[in-house]
Structure 1
Amino acid sequence: MTADTTDLLTTPLYALHLELGARMVPFAGYAMPVQYPSGLMAEHRHTRDAAGLFDVSHMGQLRLVGPDAAAALETLLPVDVQGLGLHKQRYGLLLNAQGGILDDLMFVNRGDDLFLIVNGACKVADIAHIQQHIGSRCQVIPMPEQALLALQGPQAAAALGRLAPEVLGLVFMTGMAVQIDGIACYVTRSGYTGEDGFEISVPGTQAEALARKLLAQPEVEPIGLGARNSLRLEAGLCLYGNDMDDKTTPVEAALTWAIQKVRRTGGARAGGFLGADTVLAQLDNPALLQRKRVGLIATERVPVREPAVLENMDGQQVGYITSGLLSPSLNQPVALGYVQPDYTAEGTELFAMVRGKPVPMKVSATPFVPARYHRG
C-alpha cells in the first residue's frame, strides 16, 4: 500500500519506482520508495552481498565557482577545503554561530568548481545559508536539473565497470567525470552504506535511462529508503535530524575525526569558521561536554528504537537513543544515542527503557558491521 503522496515533489525516477512495485512514502518533501516487493530485509542483504541501486535524487546538489570559493567555504565548515586535491572528496559539517550542525555534506574539488551534495530536507535552507554568508565571494549555483543515483555493494564495481571501465580506477572518496554508456555523469566512489560503491550525478532527463542500464546488470536490484537506513546504521553513520541537529556540536556528535588538524587550535588556518569558539573550546577541554554520541548493542533480541531513554544501574536517566533497529546482518539490536560523558567507555552497561521494561545494552565501538570501502 502506498501512502498519499499527491502533494509531494517527485524525482525523475518516480514512474520507474511505480513500475517496479515500490511502496512510496513521504520523505524530505518527496514521494520516495521505502521498499520494493522483495522487502527491506532482502534488499538489505542484497546490498551487503551484491549491489543495490538507490534513488537519492531528493538530495541537494550545488556548485561553488570562483578563485575564492575554497577559502570562503572554510568560513562555514570546520574542515580543510583549501588543501583538498583535485577530484578528491571530503565529508563536511555546515555549522551555525553556536557550533551546532545545520547539515552534514559531501564536497569534491573538481578544479573548476567545488561540487557539494547536501541532505534533501535541509537543501533549501543550506543553499540560502551558503548564499547569505559567502555569495559575495563566489558563485553559488544550485543544480536542480541533476539527479543522483547510488550504486552500493561489493559487486557495484563489477556492474558499473561494464558500462564505464574507467571508474574501476577510482578509490574511496575520489571522483571523475565519465560517460556511462554515453550518458555524461560525475561519479564519486563513496556512499552511505559502509560498502564499496558509487554515487552518480546525472542529468535528470537521463536518470531513468541510466537506472535501467544499471538494473539490467545481473548483480543489481532496486533498494528503498528502509534498507538505506538499516545499512547506514550498521555502518555507524549519522542521520541528520536524528543523530545530530542544529543544537549538536561536532564534538558532541563524535565527529571530530572530520576536523582536520589545520583547522584546530594551533593549526595554520585554525578557527575562522562559524561556531569556532564553541567547537575549539570543546576540543581543547572535553570537560565542557555534557553529552556525547555512542554506539550501543542490546544483549537481548528486543528492538530498541528512538527516542528510548537510557538509564544506568541505579535507574537514573543518563541518555537517550537517536537511531535504533534490529540489525539484519548481526541479528542483534543496534543503536546510536547520546549519554553523559561518564558513560561513554566501551563496554559500559546501560538499560534502554522499551514499553516500561529495561533492555540491557552495552556501549560499543562503531561501525557495527566492518566497512568495506575500496581504498586501493
Structure 2
Amino acid sequence: MPVIKNLVFKRFNSNLKKTALHDLHVSLGGTMVPYAGYSMPVLYKGQTHIESHNWTRNNAGLFDVSHMLQSKLSGPQSVKFLQRVTPTDFNVLPVGSGTLSVLLNPEGGVVDDTIITKETQNNEFYIVTNAGCAKRDTEFLRGELQNDPTLDCQWEIIQGRSLLALQGPKAKDVLGPLLLKSAQGKDLKELFFGQRHEFPLKDGTLVQIARGGYTGEDGFEISVPNEKAVKFAEQLLANPVMKPIGLAARDSLRLEAGMCLYGHELDESITPVEAALNWVISKSRRNIVNGKDRFNGYAKITDQLNNKTYSKVRVGFKYLKKGPAARDGVKIFLPDAQTEVGLVTSGSASPSLSNINIGQGYVQKGYHKKGTELLVQVRNKFYPIELAKMPLVPTHYYKQ
C-alpha cells in the first residue's frame, strides 16, 4: 500500500470533519483514517489495494473527494487577479473549460496546484484546490486580494456541496444513464477532457460535471448538493461495473499517471519549472514588459526557463530489479553509490506494470534525462533505477 504523507492510521478522532458520504463509507466497509483533517476511506472491505487499483483501470471507481476545497472567484477584475497569482493566461480560456495551474507565492514557489474553470463570460471562475492546503490557500488568496484593495473581484468558499470523482474507462457508461441533456442540449459525448458543464439528473437535481481526474483514465468530477450526495452515490454504485475506491488506490493511480501530490512533489520552495510543469506557464506570459502585469515570482521563473538556472527537476523512475519500494525521503545516488544527486518524493509498487516499483523524485540538473540509470538507497541497500518519461502508464483522456 502506498504511503501518503501525514496519513496516520487511527480508527477514531472526534475532531475530524466528515463528508456527506461518511456514513455510506462506513456501511460499505470502508476503513476510515484521518486525512487532511477529514475521516476518509483508505480501503473497503472485500478489496485489496491492488484489486481496487486494477478495478479502476479496467472498469469504474467512485472516489469521495468532498474534502477538496471548492471556491468561486467573480468580478470584473477576476482575470487580472488570476494573472498575478498564477502563470497561466486566463484571458484565452474559453467558457466552460478548465486548466491545471499553480498558485504562486512572491518567490515563485507553489502554494498549491489547482484546477480553474471559466464558468461564464462575466469572469466567474470555479476553483478546486487541495484539502490539505485549504487553510493556507484561504490565507494566501485573501491576503493577495487585501494587498491590492483596488481589485474589483471577490473570492468565496463554496459551501454545502460534495465532490465525487468517477474514474475509469466505464465511468461514462455509469454516469450517462443518470443524466438528462444539459440546458445547451449537450450529453456526455459532447463533454471533453478539461470541460465543465451543468447537467440535470433525472430527478431534476442540477450537478456540475467536469471531465478529467487524477488517475489518467477517462472520468468525471461532479459537484452535487450535500443533501443529494448519498442518493446519487447509491445510484452510481448500483451499477455492477462501479465500486467505491479509497485513498490507497487513488495514490498509486496518480503516481502511475505522473501526477503531483502536494506535500510530496510540490511545496512552497518548489517552482513550476523545477516541478517539470513548464506547460502551465503560458507562452503568452513569458515575456511581459509591464511589471504590473507580471505574475508572482516572474523574474525567478522566467530566468529558470530562459537560462536553465534551476538546480533540480522532478523525474519519474522505474526499478530495474526487485526490491522494497523507495518512499518519500529516500536518497538517490549515482551508480558509484557514493555521490548523492536527489531525493525520492513518492514511491510504490505499480499494479499496472506487474508490480514493479516506481516513483517520482527530484534529481540534480544534468542527471534528469530519460534513460539515466541511478540508485536508490533503501534500508542501507542500493537498488538500480532508470529514469522514465511520465506518465509511467499511458493516459486515456477523452479529448476532442
Q: Following TM superposition, by how much is the alpha carbon of 1:277 offset from its aligned partner in structure 2, in angstroms?
A: 1.2
Query: Which of 54, 72, 87 matches 2:96?
Result: 87
1:327 aligns with 2:344: no
Q: Following TM superposition, by how much is the alpha carbon of 1:6 offset from its aligned partner in structure 2, in angstroms?
A: 2.2
Q: Following TM superposition, by how much is the alpha carbon of 1:268 offset from its aligned partner in structure 2, in angstroms?
A: 9.4
1:118 aligns with 2:129: yes
Deviations 1:272-307 (A, max 9, x none): 111111111111111x11111111111112222121
**CA distance in 1 between partners of 2:201 and 2:134 (Å):** 27
**CA distance in 2 between partners of 1:126 and 1:81 (Å):** 19
1:23 aligns with 2:34: no
1:205 aligns with 2:216: no
SS of residue matched to 1:237 = coil
> Aligned letter for 2:144?
H
Structure 1 stretch displaced more, 357-366 or 174-183: 174-183
- 1:357 aligned partner: 381
1:41 aligns with 2:28: no
Q: Following TM superposition, by how much is the alpha carbon of 1:241 offset from its aligned partner in structure 2, in angstroms?
A: 0.5
Given the two structures, how large is their TM-score scaled by the length of structure 1?
0.97
Deviations 1:240-262 (A, max 9, x none): 10011000000110000111111
Q: Following TM superposition, by how much is the alpha carbon of 1:149 offset from its aligned partner in structure 2, in angstroms?
A: 0.3
**How many residues were matched structurally?**
375
Task: Tell me if structure 2 keeps the 8 A contact 1:5–1:24.
Answer: no
Deviations 1:88-124 (A, max 9, x none): 0111100101110000000110105200000001112
SS of residue matched to 1:99 = coil
Task: Tell me if structure 2 keeps the 8 A contact 1:310–1:320.
Answer: yes
**CA distance in 1 between partners of 2:23 and 2:290 (Å):** 51
**CA distance in 1 between partners of 2:159 and 2:177 (Å):** 29
Residue ranges of structure 2 left out of the alignment (5+ in a row): 1-8, 181-186
Query: Which of 157, 176, 189 matches 1:142?
Result: 157
Rate the CA distance shift 1:206–1:10 in 2: closer, same or farther, 3 A.
same
Q: Identity of paired residues, percent?
A: 40
Given the two structures, how large is their TM-score scaled by the length of structure 2?
0.91
Q: Following TM superposition, by how much is the alpha carbon of 1:17 offset from its aligned partner in structure 2, in angstroms?
A: 0.4
1:153 aligns with 2:162: no
SS of residue matched to 2:16 = coil
Deviations 1:24-83 (A, max 9, x none): 111001010001011211110110000000000000000111121112111100001121
SS of residue matched to 1:212 = helix
- 2:397 aligned partner: 373
SS of residue matched to 1:343 = coil
Structure 1 stretch displaced more, 50-59 or 2-11: 2-11
SS of residue matched to 1:78 = coil
Q: Following TM superposition, by how much is the alpha carbon of 1:2 offset from its aligned partner in structure 2, in angstroms?
A: 6.0
- 1:11 aligned partner: 19
Task: Tell me if structure 1 keeps the 8 A contact 2:215–2:253.
Answer: yes
Query: Which of 141, 153, 176 matches 1:130?
Result: 141
> RMSD in angstroms over aligned alpha carbons?
1.6
**CA distance in 2 between partners of 1:269 and 1:16 (Å):** 52
Query: Which of 80, 83, 102 matches 1:71?
Result: 80
